[in-house]
């Protein structure tokens, strides 16, 4: 605990018959039945990884550059996504805070050009109330924002949710209240799998991390049902990242405890299997980061997960980009630190959405507690 600032493969034996006659059966030879051949694939060479087709591919490199475009006002604790609409491809930024001086209620977007570059931002809607520290998913032309701090920086964590309807051009046409979460939380994560929205962890009104694990079903008309509790987190967790792959929901890093007092920095990764009915199984160990990381993003690209920035060991923001691939049982292999870095160390950028071979990081917070207006664009090559 801390206070405030933590095969080789067995060779295959092949028996070949040199005669054109059918080989004798083991019984005819008087010996025991032959073992079936070992079909385990050979490990991929260094610098390559196994893809779903079974072949080995070279890891892509990634180059990150600073866009001349900025967002105003600067922000952290916001949400982002990329959407394709009738008028083009857009990078969206929703809500957030200016270093907890003010909360934002805007929905902004910037056009993404064919070369991945970002144009100027425009406002395309408002939230019913300012919101920061929330999580967000998108489904069928709607945005669902869960939890966070709502209305005022002094309001504390909220259990509320809001649903935004978007038209064919991607502009907000309506905002309505959604179902409440079982607990009031901020710094939670949420994920969409099929027709279910999952919400996990977060910091409660007493500033402590929670065991929150809940899901709600999306109806055909986009209505979200009441949340029902799932397998609780063990231990409790907030300030983490999450992602879904191959029927498993992963939580990565974060912290356990109260970030204003005593807490434990986390570098573990856990997952729960999602069954055919959408229920979560028990949480299991799924790997470990080389250092504890919180307030980072975790983004899937092809068959690897990339972790961008975040707070290392609870004391310093990082500009590192880390990558890990998946073993057959879903456990993550060792993380490697890439040579490429973010232009500046930063945290509180909780989503880094992708489009084609591009990845986007908007705003964040630096070590001087300053909210950022920068847009960083990465490209996998």
Per-residue pLDDT tens for 250-290? 999 999 999 999 999 999 999 999 999 999 999 999 999 99
CATH number 1.20.1250.20 is the correct assignment for the domain at 71-380? no
Query: What gap in Å lies between CA 257 and CA 259, rounded to an integer?
Result: 6
Question: In the 3-class helix/strand/coil scheme, how is 26-40 assigned residue by residue?
Answer: HHHHCCCCCCCCCCC
**pLDDT tens, position by position, 126-169:** 999 999 999 999 999 999 999 999 999 999 999 999 999 999 99
**pLDDT tens, position by position, 283-342:** 999 999 999 999 999 999 988 999 999 999 999 999 999 999 999 899 999 999 999 999
Query: What gap in Å lies between CA 141 and CA 80, rounded to an integer?
Result: 15
Check whether 39 has a pLDDT greater than 80.
Answer: no
Assigned token pair, 263: 């807490």
Query: What gap in Å lies between CA 303 and CA 58, rounded to an integer?
Result: 11
Q: What is the pLDDT of residue 59?
A: 81
CA atoms within 13 A on the CB side of 28: 4
Task: Tell me how far apart the 2 most distant CA atoms of the chain are, in Å.
Answer: 85
pTM: 0.86
DSSP 8-state assignment for residue 156: -
The dihedral formed by the CA atoms of 285, 289, 294 and 296, expressed in degrees to the nearest 10: -110
Q: Are 138 and 169 in contact (CB under 8 A)?
A: no
In sequence order, the 6+-apart residues with CB closer than 8 A to the CB of 226 are 179, 216
Q: What is the pLDDT of residue 54?
A: 75
In sequence order, the 6+-apart residues with CB closer than 8 A to the CB of 165 are 141, 142, 172, 173, 174, 175, 176
Q: What is the pLDDT of residue 31?
A: 53
Q: Are 348 and 370 in contact (CB under 8 A)?
A: no
Domain ranges of the chain: 71-380
């Amino acid at each position: 605990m801390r206070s405030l600032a933590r095969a080789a493969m067995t060779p295959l034996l092949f028996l070949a018959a040199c005669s054109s006659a059918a080989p004798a059966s083991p019984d005819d030879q008087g010996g025991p039945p032959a073992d079936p051949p070992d079909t385990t694939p050979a490990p991929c060479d260094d610098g390559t990884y196994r893809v779903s087709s079974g072949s080995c591919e070279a890891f892509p490199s990634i180059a990150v550059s600073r866009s001349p475009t900025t967002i105003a006002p600067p922000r952290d604790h916001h949400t982002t996504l990329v959407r394709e609409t009738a008028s083009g491809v857009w990078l969206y930024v929703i809500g957030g805070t200016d270093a907890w001086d003010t909360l934002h209620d805007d929905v902004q977007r910037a056009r993404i050009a064919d070369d991945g570059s970002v144009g100027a931002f425009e406002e395309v809607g408002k939230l019913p109330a300012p919101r920061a520290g929330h999580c967000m998913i998108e489904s069928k032309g709607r945005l669902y924002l869960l939890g966070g701090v709502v209305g005022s920086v002094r309001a504390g964590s909220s259990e509320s949710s809001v649903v935004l309807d978007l038209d064919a051009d991607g502009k907000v046409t309506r905002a309505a209240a959604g179902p409440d979460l079982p607990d009031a939380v901020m710094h939670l994560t949420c994920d969409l799998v099929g027709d279910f929205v999952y919400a996990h962890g977060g910091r409660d009104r007493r500033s402590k991390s929670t065991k929150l694990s809940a899901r709600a079903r999306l109806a055909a008309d986009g209505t979200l049902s009441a949340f029902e509790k799932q397998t609780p987190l063990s231990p409790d967790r907030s300030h983490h990242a999450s992602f879904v792959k191959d029927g498993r929901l992963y939580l990565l890093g974060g912290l356990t405890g109260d970030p204003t007092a005593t807490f434990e920095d986390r570098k573990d990764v856990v997952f729960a299997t999602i069954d055919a009915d959408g229920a979560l199984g028990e949480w299991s160990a799924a790997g470990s980061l080389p250092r504890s990381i919180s307030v980072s993003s975790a983004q899937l690209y092809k068959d690897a997960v990339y972790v961008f920035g975040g707070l290392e060991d609870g004391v310093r923001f990082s500009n590192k980009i880390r990558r890990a691939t998946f073993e057959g049982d879903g456990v993550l292999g060792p993380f490697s630190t890439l040579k490429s870095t973010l232009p500046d160390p930063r945290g509180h950028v909780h989503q880094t959405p992708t489009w084609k071979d591009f990845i986007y990081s908007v705003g964040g917070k630096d070590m001087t507690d300053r909210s950022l207006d920068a847009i960083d664009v990465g490209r996998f090559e």
